[in-house]
Amino acid sequence: MKNIRRSFLKLLGFSYLSAILLPYNLAYSAAKKIINPNLTEEQKKIMLDQATEKPFSSPLNFEKRKGFFHCANCDAKLFSSDAKFDSGTGWPSFSESLPGAFKTTIDYSYGMKRIEYYCANCGVHHGHVFDDGPTSTQKRFCSNGLCLIFKPEI
């Protein structure tokens, strides 16, 4: 009986882990709200399906002005330019976010264990945060530039 059930689950492309995570994943995707009606297909793929933009593709890699980076979906203020640094990875990188800007979850996709962060306000995916940052926070928020809008200080 066990074997039958196991092969049935396999047939569905299920592992026990994904069966356990399924209710959580459904709840998580339901929590994502599209607020900006002008998002491109590429932005939606990243924000809703956790796709990753091509490295070195974001103009924000070169952004050096003072100001704040906002969520491209809901406009929440997420990062200060003071926390931005050049990580050499090809994605806009930050040593810390503004307080309460993001929530995190563990992402087991692609056989890796990574910490995903998503907008605390609208729930869309932004990137992954690593513990190899160069400043005292030791954090490296590896951001998809397409999820961000930069507003320079006036």
Shortest Cβ distance from residue 18 to Zn ion (Å)?
A: 27
With contacts defined by CB under 5 A, name the span among 4-12, 21-29, 114-122, 142-150 that binds Zn ion: 114-122
Question: Would residue 142 show up in a list of annotated catalytic residues for this protein?
Answer: yes
Q: Shortest gap between Cβ of 112 and Zn ion (angstroms)?
A: 25
DSSP the chain: -HHHHHHHHHHTT--HHHHHHHHHHHHHHHT-----TT--HHHHHHHHH---PPTT--GGGG--SSEEEEETTT--EEEEGGGEE--SSSS-EES-PPTTSEEEEEE-GGG--EEEEEETTT--EEEEEES--SSTT--EEEE-GGGEEEEE--
Q: How far apart are CA 107 and CA 127, in angstroms?
A: 11
83 vs 147, beta carbon nearer Zn ion: 147
Residue 119 engages Zn ion in binding (rule: CB under 5 A):
yes
Q: Answer yes or no whether residue 97 interacts with Zn ion by CB under 5 A.
A: no
When asked if residue 71 is in the footprint of Zn ion (CB under 5 A), the reply is yes
> Taking the complex as a whole, how short is the minimal distance between the CB of residue 124 and Zn ion, in angstroms?
6
Q: Count interface residues toward Zn ion (CB under 5 A).
A: 7
Q: Which one is catalytic: 71, 119, 122, 142? A: 142
Residue 73 binding Zn ion, by CB under 5 A: yes
Residue ranges in contact with Zn ion by CB under 5 A: 71, 73-74, 76, 119, 121-122
